[in-house]
Amino acid sequence: MRFHLFEFTDLAWAPEFLKFHIAEIIEQIDQGSPTLDVGIDKLEVELAKKGEKNVIELCAGSGRTLIRYLKNAFADGRLNKLKVTDYFPQVAEYRQLAQKYHFVDAVDAPVDARQVPDNLKGARVIVRGFHHFQPHDAKAILKSAYDKREVIAIFETPERSAKWILFISLIPSFILALVMTARIRPFRWHHFLFTYLIPIIPLMFCWDNVVSGLRAYTPAELKDMVSDMNDPNYSWDIGVLANKDPKNAIKNIYYLIGAPRAAS
Ligand SMILES: C[S@@+](CC[C@H](N)C(=O)[O-])C[C@H]1O[C@@H](n2cnc3c(N)ncnc32)[C@H](O)[C@@H]1O
């Protein structure tokens, strides 16, 4: 059974700098892990098949996730522009990314994944963000892409299982927050204060990871969500990919890709 408890990163009143600290911890974990690789490989293949060169990253968090994985594709022209968006955009950070990478457009205004503005055109991609939405909102996100016949791609690592909650989230998240915070650069005073002196960040990170597991959608639930969106010219591909690193604690990457069928 799915439980939709709150996550700190979704709270409007939670201080920006604490949310950004959590995004930086995720960023540090990603740097040493191939977990998302298999999903991004699939995304690249699908975009090439559809001839789609523009990407709108929804729920982008730190904004660095897709840049890291797709920067070669943008550099060699296989992809064109990446618009980085979030409901709580890290504006200063996104602007810095746009200065550093010619292919990045920083979107300063909040973009609600449930109501993507018409002027944002391209493949909509959500990495580790879909479980943040209640079923009716999650369905609205898929329906909106379907109605506009845009590509939508969703990749999720949280899993609604006892294993995720007990062995990947509960204690490991707390320890990971301690270890990864030490690697974040530039080091800021609040990193030390709220991680090692008063461990608010490890507790928030741990809570959010446990709740992510409780909120995760199964492939059967995703299939059910799109069961009434049946245009023969639009396809849904939903499934599970195995982590390229079999020793990684996270074994599975759940995905959904909706896309207009390429003209034959
Ligand atoms: C767990 S983070 C995922 C961050 C990033 N995609 C990653 O993989 O590291 C979830 C993000 O969803 C954003 N979010 C929550 N509700 C949203 C909404 N309605 N529309 C767009 N973004 C939302 C949060 O601000 C947060 O940055």
Domain count within the chain: 1
Find out whether 102 and 118 touch, Cβ atoms under 8 Å: no
Residue 179 lies in a domain: no
Residue 175 lies in a domain: no
Beta-carbon contacts of 112 under 8 Å, excluding residues fewer than 6 positions away, are 87
Beta-carbon contacts of 240 under 8 Å, excluding residues fewer than 6 positions away, are 219, 252, 253, 254, 255
d(CA 214, CA 189): 33
Looking up tokens 């690249």, which residue turns up?
44
Alpha helices (runs of H) in 76-199, residue ranges in sequence order: 91-100, 135-147, 162-163, 171-181, 189-192
Residue 15 lies in a domain: no
Q: Report CA(91)–ligand 1 centroid distance (Å).
A: 14
Mutate to test the pocket of ligand 1, among 58, 68, 87 (most ligand atoms within 8 A of CB): 87
171 — phi, psi (to 5°)? -80, -45
Residues with CB under 6 A from ligand 1: 9-10, 26, 58-61, 65, 86-88, 112-114, 127-129, 132
Q: Given a cut of 80, is residue 53 above it in pLDDT?
A: yes
Q: Report CA(111)–ligand 1 centroid distance (Å).
A: 10
Q: Report CA(85)–ligand 1 centroid distance (Å).
A: 9
**Closest residue CA from atom 22 of ligand 1:** 59
Residue 205 lies in a domain: no
Burial class (CB in 10 A: 0-12, 13-18, 19+), 119: exposed
92 — phi, psi (to 5°)? -60, -40
Residue 36 lies in a domain: yes
Task: Tell me the pLDDT tens digit for each residue of 80-106.
Answer: 999 999 998 999 999 999 999 999 999
**Closest residue CA from atom 27 of ligand 1:** 61
Residue 1 lies in a domain: no
d(CA 47, CA 153): 10
Q: Report CA(113)–ligand 1 centroid distance (Å).
A: 9
Task: Tell me the pLDDT tens digit for each residue of 213-256.
Answer: 999 999 999 999 999 999 999 999 999 999 999 989 899 999 99
The SS3 call for residue 38 is: helix
The domain that holds 105 is classified in CATH as 3.40.50.150
**Closest residue CA from atom 4 of ligand 1:** 61
Residue 4 lies in a domain: no
Residue 7 lies in a domain: no
- In this prediction, residue 33 has a pLDDT band, given cuts at 50, 70 and 90, of confident
d(CA 70, CA 133): 25
Beta-carbon contacts of 132 under 8 Å, excluding residues fewer than 6 positions away, are 7, 10, 59, 215
Mean pLDDT of 59-77: 93
Q: Report CA(126)–ligand 1 centroid distance (Å).
A: 8
- The structure's pTM equals 0.94
Provide the residue range defining the domain that includes 72: 22-159+216-260
